[in-house]
Amino acid sequence: MDRKLKEAIASKLMLLATVFSSLLIFAVVIGLIQKSRPILATHSLSELLLSSSWFPLRGEFGFYPFIIGTIWVTVLAMLFSLPLCLLTSIYLAEYAPAKIRAFIKPLIDLLAGIPSVVYGLWGILIVVPLIKDYVAPFFGYSATGYCLLAGGIVLAIMVFPIIIAVSEEVFRAVPHEIREVSLALGATKWQTVKHVALRAALPGVIAAIVLGFSRAFGETMAVMMVVGNVARVPSSVFEPAYPLTALIANNYGEMMSVPLYDSALLLSALILLLVILFFSIAARIVLLRIERRVM
Amino acid sequence: MPKFKPHIRVKNLNLFYEGHHALKDITVDIPEKEITAIIGPSGCGKTTLLKSLNRLIDLVDGIEISGEVIVDGEDIYSTKVDVTYIRKKIGMLGQKPYPLPMSIYDNVAYGPRIHGMRKKKELDGIVEHYLEVAGLWDEVKDRLKSPASMLSAGQQQRLCLARSLAVEPEIILGDEPTSALDPISSKRIEEVFIALKKDYTIVIVTHILRQAVRLADYVIFLYMGDVIEQGPAKEIFENPKEERTKAYIGGEIS
């Protein structure tokens, strides 16, 4: 065949593949919107988002407890994981001798490959009893252990490898020379890390955090196994919660004879998707700002 | 024995990099408040020698070093010496301009700040003064807050010079400081160097012979890790004693 023709076919084929994969997001969004229409037609959005009464049989679909549950579990996970992840990635990239790094890095990467159901089981076997027997009594609460805190801890451990791996790469991508510049001015290593490396790496570190956040926000299995799944707004971290993801996974396919039930669940899926989209876009904007300011 | 007052005395400096003998028993004296040029073909150890003078060589893994580098009567490799103090006293200008990822102002203020200066007024004064010295003030005085990366390469290199000067070093090391610049920017850096030598001891590495001729008062010719010849620039360029120096200056080895 003529090589010009091959060229044309190859480039068209790649274009087609690219268009297909980039249109998928629209397909998913449009599909979810279509499916959640029935419930949006009969209930106002503010009622759906802000009401706490979840009684599908009575036709009441208040997502508020689930939204709060999702937000709390995610926030807790980020609070636990961020300091650890940052310190670990800085240590690995800036301080650790090559040998130690070569030993630790694969261990952390290994964490990323563990299926989430295993994290869930580990949460049930270790984290839940620990909270029930020690942590909650210490703070003067009595709890089953299946609670927000357990979900937050398990999720935190799940996002570790993502944030560490990405931000460590980001630190290592900072040109060695600008560290040299700082050291040559008589800065200590820590001053150099804090004022130069961290600053140069900031956009990438934020990207890593957003990646971890999205993972935590959307994670289902492990959270569902330890978080208790009670449709109520929790008043402390020792109370159970019911994140949106768990709601969908537990109920879709069951109880579908209840009118509007599947539409309600698909709406919650749409909400999840939109929130993650919102955060990705917000992160992009922040990144652009930072880059314009310092780079 | 040298007739001048040495600011840096290197004595029997040997450096091994992963078994390779990169600097071989170097003994040189570097005169105070003059420009010394280290010349020689690429890969002969010029930059390694330069980085040994402010212990930036410490950052390279797999280095073994022995001998002495005496600055103001003190061996900088002595265990009693604080390396940050050495590097504050001996500034460095790199091959390429590497502005820190911050504003023009913050780049110059960076050094004084890490050494503990907090007063805004004093910092303002330092930033203005050293940007003046580096010949950049007029070009940037209206946009001190914009990112340093917005400047041209030549301006960035002058910014880097101002940044080095702002910690008030006594000695300035330049590692082929004009190699990434256009001829006009190079000329400006050279002019600044010449103006600076009344207050500072300057050591530059260069592979551009004509630059060494224009700038240097004193020349060290390095070849494969050995000091072949050192002396006043005039003697080295006009009347080299060693065959290899003659060959290098004549353009036969490069």
Q: Which among B72, B74, B65, B80 has a CA at the least distance from the CA of B26?
A: B65
Q: What is the pLDDT, as a whole number, of residue B1?
A: 46
Amino acid at B14: N
Cβ pair B111:A186 closer than 8 A = yes
Beta strand ranges found along chain A (DSSP E): 54-55, 60-61
- Cα B237 to Cα A140: distance, rounded to the nearest angstrom: 85
Q: Which two tokens stand for residue B176?
A: 């082929």
Tens digits of per-residue pLDDT, A214-250? 888 888 889 999 999 998 898 899 999 999 999 999 9
Whether residue B66 has pLDDT greater than 50: yes
Order of all β-strands in the sheet with B226-232: B90-93, B171-175, B201-205, B35-39, B218-223, B226-232
Q: What sign does the dihedral B69-B72-B73-B78 (CA atoms) show?
A: negative
Whether residue A66 has pLDDT greater than 90: yes
Does the domain made of B6-98+168-249 have the CATH classification 3.40.50.300?
yes
Cβ pair A181:B98 closer than 8 A = yes
Q: What are the residue ranges spanned by the domains of chain A?
A: 3-42, 47-294
CA separation (Å) from A280 to A13, A43, A168, A273, A274?
Answer: 29, 29, 20, 11, 10
Q: What is the pLDDT, as a whole number, of residue A56?
A: 87
Pick B56's closest partner by Cβ from A180, A199, A200. A180
Tens digits of per-residue pLDDT, B152-202? 999 999 999 999 999 999 999 999 999 988 999 999 999 999 999 999 999
| Mean pLDDT value across chain B | 92
Q: Which chain B residue lies closest to A175 (C-alpha atoms)? A: B98
The contacts of residue B7 (CB under 8 Å, 6+ apart) are B30, B31, B32, B33, B71, B72, B170, B171, B201
Tens digits of per-residue pLDDT, A10-41? 999 999 999 999 999 899 999 999 999 999 99
Question: CA of A212 to nearest chain B CA: how many angstroms apart?
Answer: 25
Name the class of domain A47-294: mainly alpha
- Dihedral pair phi/psi, residue A84, rounded to 5°: -60, -45
Residue with tokens 């959307």: A218
Mutant choice from A100, A181, A196 vs B, greatest count of B C-beta within 10 A: A181
Q: Is A194 on the interface with B (CB under 8 A)?
A: no
Amino acid at B248: Y
Residues on chain A touching B163 (C-beta within 8 angstroms) = 181, 185
Tens digits of per-residue pLDDT, A105-132? 999 989 888 999 999 999 999 999 999 9
- CB neighbourhood size of A186 (10 A): 23
